[in-house]
Amino acid sequence: MARWRQAVELAMSEEEFEGLAAIARARSEAARRVERAQMLLAYGENPSFFAVGQRFGVHHQTVQRCVERAVAYGPLAALDDRPRPGKEPTITPEAKAWLVSLACDKAKEHGYPHELWTTRLLARHAREHGPAAGHECLAKLVQGTVCKILGHEEIKPHKVRYYLERRDAEFEQKMAEVLCVYREVQVLKKAAAKSKKPGKPVAIVSYDEKPGIQAIATTAPDLPPVPGTYATFARDYEYKRHGTLSLLAGIDLLTGRVHALVKERHRSREFIEFLKLLDAAYPASTAIKLILDNHSAHISRETQAWLAAQPAGRFEFTFTPKHGSWLNLIEGFFSKFARAVLRHIRVASKQELKERIVAGIEDVNRHPVIHTWSYKLAEAA
């Protein structure tokens, strides 16, 4: 004779109740955990398997199993499925190790035209060559299993993460020289703030080139925004190229003033023209110190010959190390100028682009910003 199904007493602490309530309201939890938390809370209010099952549209035995797990393992532990024995693994640890070792090679090293493995290619190679290597269990290997094995070992042989090898043996020394110049800037600023007497006349300029600024023209007029209808400007996808220009610029680290030239190219003759611009911008008694990279135009015979003809001490160069352009403050100015002025720019000719770049530099110089370097400055000798 069938017996009445008796209610199971479910005791919960305040902490467990609050945990279940938080999970029951969560939007990022798994649906089964949310549903089980709601069932346990409902059962706590009304201890009836049948009533709770009707409320959530599930069988009353589903509610009973959930409550019994909560009594046996705790309310929070009952939200997850219990581990099942499952099928015995057919892929041996040795086969997995062979597969992982294979994934650490490049596909081209095994006769494929691919540079790197794809999981599909790796599975195919394992099926074809695994049994011959003594791993018969790989004869029916599928792509999904390869993904699981590689994921467990945290290996992604189909991806490339780039790094930069340090190729300048004197990197630390050159970096210290640049930081010492920034320290000098800091000292000069403090001295100028404390004393009204002019010190030794010196100008420190951070210089670099920004090549490849494209002169791009639209092929149809831009459409303006329309309130409530079109939030942004609309632009035709087609465009016309008019060539590129190079911006040669240096920022005075003491005043914030930007010295600039816009040229077709950035060879030695253009660099010398920029040096002449600096020479005309400062009094003859001022020492001009430049922070710049090792571009060929900066160290060419033509440049060296021009510098040799200048008065002693007029120009002094401090070079950043190779792959150390981030040490040059002008890079920050270029980034800001590109976002503010050059982004989305459209012009009818290269001449118009040049005029707008020059106008942008003049606008910057109307309200100059003094750039300051602080990173690792305390480490400078």
pLDDT reading at 117 higher than 90: yes
Q: Which of 29-43, 136-150, 161-175, 316-330 has the lowest mean pLDDT?
A: 161-175
pLDDT in tens, 278-300: 999 999 999 999 999 999 999 99
Average pLDDT over the chain, rounded to whole?
90
User: What stretches of 134-253 show up as alpha helix (H) in DSSP?
Assistant: 143-152, 171-194
pLDDT reading at 197 higher than 70: no
Give the residue-averaged pLDDT of 172-188: 89
Say what the pLDDT of residue 379 is: 60
Name every residue whose Cβ is closer than 8 Å to that of residue 64 and which is 6 or more positions away in sequence: 5, 8, 49
Say what the pLDDT of residue 2 is: 47
Which tokens is 337 given? 């100028």
- Type and span of the H or E element at 75: none
114 vs 89, residue with greater confidence: 114
CA distance 136 to 95: 9
Say what the pLDDT of residue 324 is: 86
pLDDT reading at 49 higher than 50: yes
Cβ proximity of 277 and 259 under 8 Å: yes
CA distance 376 to 171: 14
Which span out of 98-102, 187-191, 373-377 was modeled with the highest average pLDDT? 98-102
Cβ proximity of 158 and 116 under 8 Å: yes
Which tokens is 104 given? 């650490």
Give the SS3 label for residue 208: strand
β 315-319/239-252 pair status: unpaired
CA distance 102 to 109: 10
CA distance 243 to 352: 12
Q: In the chain, what percentage of residues exceed pLDDT 90?
A: 66
Which tokens is 346 given? 């459209």
Say what the pLDDT of residue 380 is: 52
pLDDT reading at 78 higher than 90: no
Cβ proximity of 40 and 66 under 8 Å: yes
Say what the pLDDT of residue 153 is: 92
CA distance 171 to 127: 49
Say what the pLDDT of residue 298 is: 94
Q: In the chain, what percentage of residues exceed pLDDT 70?
A: 96
pLDDT reading at 234 higher than 60: yes
Cβ proximity of 298 and 317 under 8 Å: yes
Name every residue whose Cβ is closer than 8 Å to that of residue 33 and which is 6 or more positions away in sequence: 23, 79, 80
Say what the pLDDT of residue 125 is: 96
Say what the pLDDT of residue 80 is: 87
Which tokens is 226 given? 């329309």
Say what the pLDDT of residue 372 is: 84
Closest CA relative to residue 15, chosen from 82, 71, 75: 75
Rounded to an integer, what is the distance from CA 5 to the centroid of its chain?
A: 60
Which span out of 44-58, 180-194, 236-250 was modeled with the highest average pLDDT? 236-250
